[in-house]
Structure 1
Amino acid sequence: MYDLVIIGSGPAGLSAAVYAKRAGFHTLVLEKGAMSGGQVLTTYEVDNYLGMKGMNGFDLGMKFREHADHMGVEFLEAEAVSIEEGTESGVGETAELVACEKTDPCIKPGRRAEAGGDKKGGRIYRIVTNKGDYETRAVLAATGAVHARLHVPGEEELAGMGVSYCATCDGAFFRNRTVAVIGGGDVAVEDAVFLARTSKKVYLIHRRDELRAARILQKKVQELPNVEILWNTVVDEIVGTDRVEKIRIRNTVSGDMEEMEMDGVFIAVGIHPNTELFKGLVECDEKGYIAAGEDGVTTAPGIFAAGDVRTKPLRQIVTAVADGANAVAGVQDYFLQDSF
């Protein structure tokens, strides 16, 4: 029986693992892939993490993992398939578990809070993975979020080498350069406005003839002299060897093709939190993120959330690391509750 199982080994999960180990919790980290670090691994350079100026994202991710290894954190490369909830029937006895129903959208507030175990055994969770089942008294969702892809040639090959999904993270590398932002929603327009502060030229490429962003954002971006909106346009290919050099675009109305020299491409066509595993267990917001505060507490007692998977205003490495620490503090408080 574990005290805490952390699902995900990005900055939030690794930070939580270190803090959990320091707190003396019997902890297991489940990581789906062969490498820890999450999205930071694909970042070409990180220059906004305090004390790590100009560090390659892959190297920073490896440092995070090395720190956790140094603390003696237990890792398992396995994919969590489902989470089952129940209560211990008694000390030393097999836990009696009831599989939670998988509903969509996420569960309404308070439902799981009313279904807790008694003081005799307390609530436990069984994490079912492709390599076996693991029982735990608390679960931390650190599964992150994934950016929607264009699925065009050159996108994956040049990720971190001019192709980015985060203007806030990487915009500073394109000062006085020409960049393209792909998308038409709030995030895309906000990215274009943000990049226009430092980039020489910003092309906002949208596949339709009007933006989906809020009117106030549309007005703001259209007033910027160094931003040009390309309507009814899609990117068919991103071209380059060791960096982005140009893009091939196509007008969806006329069918005309064009090549444009480009230094950077920022893709903002959506982001999807990895919450499938927790549907039916916790409440999510209207965008699908797990509803959890700074302490990581969700609507399901014993289930916590940290990092990009939870509702929050800023998704950065530093906020993910802080989330991990705060969530463990939330776990500590949970263990001290009489109801547990």
Structure 2
Amino acid sequence: MHKAIVIGTGPAGLTAAIYLARANLQPLVIEGDQPGGQLTTTTEVENFPGFPEGILGPDLMDNMRKQAEKFGAAFQTGWVKEIDLQNRPFTLRLENGETLTTEALIVSTGASANLLHIPNEMENIGRGVSTCATCDGFFFRGKKIIVVGGGDSAMEEAHFLTRFASEVRVVHRREELKASRIMQDRARSNEKIEWSLNRTPIEVVEGEHGVTGLKVLNNETGETEVIDTQGIFVAIGHRPNTAFLQGQLETDANGYLVVKPGTSETSIPGVFACGDVKDPVYRQAITSAGSGAMAALDLERFLDEHPVAEPSVQEVV
């Protein structure tokens, strides 16, 4: 039986693993098919403290993993298929049939950005296609940018990107926006924001060095057109990766894990959450890492105060 298991290997999960390993808890970290999380699809990271020249996203995640391994964290690749949080120790069943038990658990499975699922989109993540304006906006200084979406997030990202871009064009498949009136008014009053409404994206146009345009369908005329751009920011929401929990932990209306204010404690004692899986607001590498440290410290304190009773001789026999 493990003292602590961490599910997820983004900045939150790896930071938690570093802290737990240094506390001599020998954590086991379960990583899926994208170790390192969303940062592994990011090229340059310039806003993580300590790297004045920037660092590649995959390199940052690799360094954090090596640091966790150095202090004694173990890693196992696989997906958690089923989980039982009703009784402690908790039980995890992996897709390969293996069963694991742990005294305490950290969930740091992140949130996946909703994508358009159109040709050339995935291939150009990090080459002109992005899902995070605050992460990548700086790289598009003086360029033409498209923001796809019609909700509050899209309006917020479009407004933010005008700090860098020469032009920001909002593309939305409907004539009406879903954003709140105050967010719409703010965006419409920004002279740098242009509008291509009632247009459905159908293909990312790529060149030798990345994105050169977005092909859209004009829903009024039925004709297609290519909008020239050097960057496409997809802002149609995020989906927290919590399906494997099967509703055993409390979530908000959008599926993000709910934690006790000021802590990482979930609705079940001994289960903690960190990173984007419980953060619909900031979604930054540094805030995720900070919440990972909180989760590890909360878990360590919990184990000190709630040890699992050792089985008696009769139970062993």
TM superposition score category, shorter chain reference: over 0.9
1:295 Cα shift? 2.4
CA gap of 1:247–1:29, structure 2 versus 1, over 3 A, is: same
- In 2, distance between residues paired with 1:291 and 1:213? 24
Instruction: Tell me the equivalent position of 1:50.
Output: 49
Q: 2: CA distance between counterparts of 1:80 and 1:18?
A: 21
Whole-angstrom distance in 1 between the partners of 2:288 and 2:127: 23
Aligned to 1:333: 301
Name the SS of the counterpart of 1:157 in structure 2: helix
CA gap of 1:303–1:162, structure 2 versus 1, over 3 A, is same
Alpha-carbon distance between aligned partners in 1 of 2:281 and 2:187, rounded to the nearest angstrom: 21
In 1, are the aligned partners of 2:6 and 2:17 still within 8 Å (CA)?
Answer: yes
* Deviation for aligned residue 1:196: 1.2
**Aligned partners of 1:338 and 1:137: how far apart in 2?**
9
The separation in 2 between residues aligned to 1:271 and 1:85, in whole angstroms, is: 25
Q: Which residue of 1 aligns with 2:138?
A: 172
The one-letter code matched in structure 2 to 1:47 is E
Letter in 1 for 2:257: I
Q: 1:69 to 1:337 in 2, by over 3 A?
A: closer
Per-residue CA deviation, residues 16-58 of structure 1 (Å, 9 max, x unaligned), is 111000111131111111x521100001211100122322212
Distance 1:313 1:214 in 2: 17
CA offsets per residue over residues 98-144 of structure 1, 9 Å max, x none?
xxxxxxxxxxxxxxxxxxxxxxxxx2101111230001011110100
SS in 1 for 2:256: coil
Report the counterpart of residue 112 of structure 2 in structure 1. Answer: 146
Equivalent residue number for residue 133 of structure 1: 99
Question: How far apart are the structure 1 equivalents of 2:62 and 2:195?
Answer: 39
> Residue deviations 1:260-285, cap 9 Å, x none?
22110000112100011223321101
SS at match of 1:234: strand
Counterpart residue number, 2:40: 41
Between 1:24-33 and 1:217-226, the stretch displaced more is: 24-33
Aligned to 1:29: 29
Distance 2:36 2:101 in 1: 25
| Alignment CA distance shift 1:261-1:284 (3 Å) | same
Letter in 1 for 2:264: G
Letter in 2 for 1:193: H
The TM-score normalised by the length of structure 2 is 0.92
Instruction: Give the gaps of 5 or more residues in structure 2.
Output: 309-317
Distance 2:297 2:65 in 1: 21
AA aligned to 1:318 is I
* Superposition map of 1:54-69 within 5 A: 54-69=54-69
Identity across the alignment (%)? 37
- Name the residue aligned to 1:207: 173
Using the TM superposition, give the Cα deviation of residue 336 of structure 1 relative to its aligned residue in structure 2, in angstroms. 2.8
**Aligned partner of 2:264 among 286, 290, 296:** 296
Q: Distance in 2 between matches of 1:213 and 1:64?
A: 38
State the alpha-carbon separation in 1 of the partners of residues 227 and 284 from structure 2.
30
CA distance in 2, matches of 1:171, 1:277: 33
Q: Distance in 2 between matches of 1:339 and 1:214?
A: 48
- Indicate the larger mover: 169-178 or 247-256: 247-256
Unmatched 5+ residue regions in structure 1?
Answer: 88-122
Query: Quick check: 55-64 or 323-332, which moved more?
Result: 55-64
Query: Distance between the aligned counterparts of 1:338 and 1:58, measured in 2?
Result: 37
Aligned pair count?
Answer: 304
Give the 3-state SS of the residue equivalent to 1:192 in structure 2: helix
CA distance in 2, matches of 1:3, 1:294: 24
- 8 Å Cα contact 2:205/2:214 also seen in 1: yes
* Partners of 1:36 and 1:62 within 8 A in 2: no
Q: What displacement does 1:242 show?
A: 3.0
Mapped partners of 1:154, 1:50: distance in 2: 32
Distance 1:305-1:338 versus aligned 2 partners, 3 A rule: closer
| 1:162–1:294 CA distance, 2 compared to 1 (3 A) | farther
Matches within 5 A, 1:261-280: 261-280=228-247
- 4+ residue runs of structure 1 moved beyond 4 angstroms? none
Q: State the one-letter code of the partner of 1:262.
A: T
After superposition, what is the alpha-carbon deviation per residue over 1:210-260, rounded to whole angstroms, capped at 9, x for unaligned?
A: 110110000000011110111101111111233111121111121121112
Q: TM-score, normalised by structure 1?
A: 0.86
Instruction: Indicate conservation of the 8 Å contact 1:192/1:204, yes or no.
Output: yes
Distance 2:136 2:238 in 1: 17
Contact 1:86 1:124 in 2 (8 A): no
Q: Distance in 2 between matches of 1:124 and 1:338?
A: 11
